[in-house]
Amino acid sequence: MSADPHLLTGAYAADALTGIERLAFERHLDACLPCAAEARQLRAAAARLGAAVATPPPAALWGRVRAEVATTDQVPPVAGPVGRRFPSLLAAAAALLAAAAALLVVAFSVTALGLGLVGGPRRSERVADPVAAVLAAPDARRVAARAGGVGQAEVVVSRQRGRAAFVASGLAPAPAARTYQLWVVDRSGPRPAGLVEVPKGGRVTRLLEGRVAGSEQVALTVERRGGAARPTSEPVVVIDLRA
Amino acid sequence: MFGLVGRVVRNPAQAEEVTQEVFVELWRTASRFDPARGAARSWIMTCAHRRAVDRVRSAERAARRDDLAGRRDQGRPYDQVAEQVEATLEREQVRRSLDALTDLQREAVVLAYYGGYTHREISELLGVPSGTVKTRLRNGLLRLRDHLEVYR
């Protein structure tokens, strides 16, 4: 490629480069931050062109996707019955396929697939499954925490399912002999909603235990290992689902 | 995503195949998705578009040469796109942003993105140097970005 590579961001974003040119330009992107940023923005702009012509896929296609995904072994080993696991995974996936329909849900389905479902064998199947169900629920609503000391945190709540999931990134590990604990706070006070283990990388997707109607507050506190029956410290995150 | 794939590969059966491939690919690589690097929609559309483009370029190269020649007589490709871009809010916004491009920019962007053509094919089609095509693509998408205000 003799031409100035900095001018190729547009052709790259529109996929107008040939395979070899694309590879060469991607190598350039690794080394050139301004080009990488511009390419990312132009790809986002191009994606809007794609979304503008979105149409729902035929129902039969969905059946084939479902069948193929069911035999795709990228998912961690399943302890429980396979048949019970896939429907809710596919619920998250359905949102992906209908990309134009519910972008918010898509964003979180992808996150769910990334963080919770393909995250590794350590994650409990019982937790991963309903998380996907909440994230992919048609009425899924996300409520972000106001800026605080702990990276980004939000709660995705589905009133329809009566469940909510806590999603965070950049969460620092809890101090030694301590653990994060989630609380759902309603008029009758706080009730424990589960302990949060922070994996390396600080990204957490955790289903809140118990039913959540969507009108409560969700709080995260630091407690002694094993958790507490009532919060004993000031919350590090408070997310008001009424907001 | 299906609509986009269908537009690029222009064969309903192949569009379904490619959509299925893309979906399974998204499924496999979901753990690599990093929200910090852009919105999920971009990621999905990028995967879908690339896969669709690769499909038409590998399978139908010869046929597409004829198609490319035929297109000159079919009027501006933009008109065909505009026709199908319905008046939902999102679509309307994208359509208006496309209107904000110069005719030459729009032609290049539409041929590349919706048509799946390489910059060389476009330069052949329009009879301009491929460097000019690259510049039009970049300036066109930059303007689109500014109109749609996507800075992630």
CATH code: domain of residue B32: 1.10.1740.10
pLDDT value of residue A199: 78
B84 lies in the same domain as B97: yes
Q: What is the mean pLDDT of residues A89-99?
A: 46
Of B40, B59, B78, which residue constitutes the final position of a domain? B59
Domains held by chain B: number: 2
B23 lies in the same domain as B87: no
Q: Which domain holds residue B4?
A: 1-59
Q: What is the residue-averaged pLDDT of chain B?
A: 76
Inter-axis angle of helices B77-84 and B103-113, nearest 10: 70
B71 lies in the same domain as B145: yes
- ipTM, 2 decimals? 0.76
B43 lies in the same domain as B70: no
Q: Give me the residue label for tokens 């396979």.
A: A82
**pLDDT single digits (tens) B135-149:** 999 999 999 999 887
When pLDDT is cut at 50, 70 and 90, the band that residue A107 belongs to is: very low
B69 lies in the same domain as B142: yes
pLDDT value of residue B74: 45
CATH code: domain of residue B70: 1.10.10.10
Strand, helix or coil at A121?
coil
Provide the token pair at B118: 């390489």
Interatomic CA distance for residues A133 and A161, integer angstroms: 8
Portion 47-86 of B in contact with A at CB < 8 A:
48-50, 53-54, 57, 81, 84-85
Interatomic CA distance for residues A241 and A214, integer angstroms: 6
Subunit contact A99:B45, Cβ cutoff 8 A: yes
DSSP state, residue A153: E
User: Does residue B78 carry a pLDDT above 60?
Assistant: no
Report the range out of A104-118, A137-151, B119-133 with the highest average pLDDT.
Answer: B119-133
Taking contacts as CB-CB distances below 8 angstroms, the residues of chain A near B118 are: 16-18
User: Does residue A94 carry a pLDDT above 70?
Assistant: no
User: Does residue A30 carry a pLDDT above 70?
Assistant: yes
Q: Which chain A residue's Cα is nearest to B82?
A: A53
State the burial class of residue B80 (Cβ atoms within 10 Å of its Cβ: 0-12, 13-18, 19+).
Answer: middle
pLDDT value of residue B88: 58
Interatomic CA distance for residues A133 and B17, integer angstroms: 27
Q: What is the residue-averaged pLDDT of chain A?
A: 72
B37 lies in the same domain as B105: no
Q: What is the mean pLDDT of residues A87-97?
A: 46
State the burial class of residue A157 (Cβ atoms within 10 Å of its Cβ: 0-12, 13-18, 19+).
Answer: buried
Q: Among A12, A102, A97, which residue's Cα sits nearest to residue A61?
A: A97
pLDDT value of residue B83: 46
Whether B102 contacts chain A with CB within 8 A:
no
How does DSSP assign B54-101, residue by residue?
Answer: HHHHHH-HHHHHHHHHHHGGG--HHHHHHHHS--SHHHHHHHHHHHTS
CB A91 within 8 A of CB A132: yes
CB A38 within 8 A of CB A13: no
Interatomic CA distance for residues B49 and B45, integer angstroms: 6
B81 lies in the same domain as B95: yes
Interatomic CA distance for residues A95 and A52, integer angstroms: 17
Subunit contact B1:A43, Cβ cutoff 8 A: no
pLDDT value of residue B125: 81
Q: Give me the residue label for tokens 């190598």.
A: A27
- Tell me the percentage of chain B whose pLDDT exceeds 70: 70
User: Does residue B80 carry a pLDDT above 70?
Assistant: no
B116 lies in the same domain as B142: yes
B5 lies in the same domain as B26: yes
pLDDT value of residue A123: 32
Interatomic CA distance for residues A1 and A6, integer angstroms: 12
B11 lies in the same domain as B79: no
Portion 19-48 of A in contact with B at CB < 8 A:
19, 38, 40-48
Inter-axis angle of helices A33-51 and A19-31, nearest 10: 130
B93 lies in the same domain as B49: no
B76 lies in the same domain as B94: yes
Q: What is the mean pLDDT of residues B120-134?
A: 89
**pLDDT single digits (tens) A153-209:** 888 888 888 889 888 777 788 888 899 999 999 888 899 999 998 877 777 778 899
All structural domains of chain A, each given as residue ranges with its CATH number in brackets, are 5-51 (no CATH), 59-136 (no CATH), 144-240 (2.60.40)
Subunit contact A53:B19, Cβ cutoff 8 A: no
Q: What is the mean pLDDT of residues A4-24?
A: 90
Taking contacts as CB-CB distances below 8 angstroms, the residues of chain B near A7 are: 131, 134-135, 138
Q: Chain centroid to CA A17: how far?
A: 31
pLDDT value of residue B126: 83
Taking contacts as CB-CB distances below 8 angstroms, the residues of chain B near A56 are: 2
User: Does residue A100 carry a pLDDT above 50?
Assistant: no
Handedness of CA B121, B122, B127, B130 (dihedral sign): negative
Of B14, B43, B59, which residue constitutes the final position of a domain? B59
Report the range out of A30-44, A83-97, A157-171, B77-91 with the highest average pLDDT.
Answer: A30-44
User: Does residue B27 carry a pLDDT above 70?
Assistant: yes
